[in-house]
């Protein structure tokens, strides 16, 4: 419990410092140390490590927010609608995260009834905000990290990673990274199983190919060491309109759209599990045309289920 208390105290201090900066205040390290009853070293660490991703800078020993970055009450209709949607989206990210996000939105949103409803089915990572901030800093600065990771067999591994992205797939949060002992494969690490996180002074570079792969990732099953291959899917008229509205993959293209509303869709994947759960979800309205071996995997799964 002592750890959680310290975490909450640090988070409250950081939010307060950011609020002051966004309101145009110029802050001295000594004054903040006195206000929050911590050392000047702690405040310096706040600015140099925990708040490094924010548009702040130091001038004449005072910390300031860069021009153009201020939290102001929104008045335009477009901005108001966007904020209403954001407010409802955070409802689905868990109570802990949601309460912190809403308090921040309140600073830029006029208080009134919100007619928008939206629900995201995501796990709550409100207790991981501090570790995520370290990840953000390491990713932006391209710094190697060390950490402990609880694997599926409950064995704790000591890892040295090049962190690439924090991602959410099917409501679960992961870190994508490259293990120094296997510098070809992008690996996935369940965020809540990462502990004892530390940044190092070792930097790394990301080649353009990996960057392009990351921008097209849509499933935790992707494998960057395999050459992507095409999957051709027959889609019934009952659901064709839905996948036109919301593609099943960033690579989705329509080979044909028939007069009855049915369609043939082509996507590119690197692992069969990128498409098999989607086909099962939409059964009987989707069917694999090519490659046949994926269709056979699904048929065998259905036979096992029916038996």
The average pLDDT across 170-197 equals 85
pLDDT of 295 higher than 90: yes
How far apart, in whole angstroms, are the C-alpha atoms of residue 141 and residue 144?
Answer: 9
The answer for residues whose C-beta is within 8 angstroms of residue 112's C-beta and 6 or more apart is: none
Q: In CATH, what number does 2-65 get?
A: 1.10.10.10
Which residue intervals of the chain bear CATH 2.30.30?
A: 133-216
The average pLDDT across 34-52 equals 88
Q: What is the DSSP string of 273-294?
A: GGTHHHHHHHTTSEEEEESHHH
**For position 85, what pLDDT does the model report?**
57
pLDDT in tens, 102-117: 666 665 555 555 565 5
**CA angle, 99 as apex, 218 and 89 as ends, to 5°?**
35
Which residue intervals of the chain bear CATH 1.10.10.10?
A: 2-65
Which residue intervals of the chain bear CATH 3.30.70?
A: 229-306
Q: With pLDDT > 90 as the criterion, what percentage of the chain qualifies?
A: 26
pLDDT of 28 higher than 90: yes
Residue range 133-216 in CATH 2.30.30: yes
Pick among 3.30.70, 2.60.40, 3.10.310, 3.40.50: CATH of 229-306: 3.30.70
pLDDT of 83 higher than 60: no
- Identify whether the C-beta of residue 89 lies closer than 8 Å to the C-beta of residue 118: yes
Lowest mean pLDDT among 62-76, 84-98, 117-131, 204-218: 84-98
The average pLDDT across 135-157 equals 85
How far apart, in whole angstroms, are the C-alpha atoms of residue 80 and residue 73?
Answer: 10
């Amino acid at each position: 419990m002592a750890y959680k208390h310290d975490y909450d105290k640090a988070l409250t201090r950081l939010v307060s410092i950011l609020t002051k900066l966004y309101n145009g205040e110029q802050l001295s390290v000594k004054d903040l140390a006195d206000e929050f009853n911590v050392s000047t070293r702690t405040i310096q660490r706040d600015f140099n490590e925990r708040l490094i991703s924010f548009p702040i800078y130091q001038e004449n020993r005072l910390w300031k927010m860069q021009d153009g970055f201020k939290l102001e009450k929104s008045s335009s209709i477009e901005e108001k609608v966007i904020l209403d949607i954001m407010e409802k989206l955070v409802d689905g990210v868990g109570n802990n995260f949601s309460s912190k996000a809403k308090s921040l939105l309140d600073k830029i949103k006029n208080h009134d009834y919100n007619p928008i409803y939206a629900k995201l089915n995501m796990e709550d990572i409100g207790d991981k905000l501090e570790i995520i901030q370290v990840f953000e800093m390491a990713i932006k600065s391209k710094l190697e990290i060390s950490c402990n990771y609880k694997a599926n067999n409950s064995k704790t591994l000591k890892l040295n990673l090049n962190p690439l992205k924090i991602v959410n797939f099917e409501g679960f949060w992961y870190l994508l990274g490259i293990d120094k002992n296997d510098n070809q494969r992008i690996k996935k690490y369940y965020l809540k199983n990462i502990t004892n996180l530390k940044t190092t002074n070792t930097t790394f570079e990301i080649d353009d190919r990996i960057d392009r792969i990351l921008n097209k990732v849509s499933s935790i099953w992707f494998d960057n060491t395999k050459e992507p291959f095409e999957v051709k899917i027959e889609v019934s008229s009952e659901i064709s309109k839905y996948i036109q509205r919301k593609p099943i993959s960033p690579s989705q293209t329509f080979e044909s759209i028939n007069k009855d509303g049915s369609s043939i869709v082509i996507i590119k994947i690197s692992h069969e599990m990128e498409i098999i759960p989607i086909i099962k979800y939409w059964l009987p309205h989707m069917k694999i045309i090519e490659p046949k071996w994926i269709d056979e995997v699904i048929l065998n799964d259905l036979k096992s289920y029916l038996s």
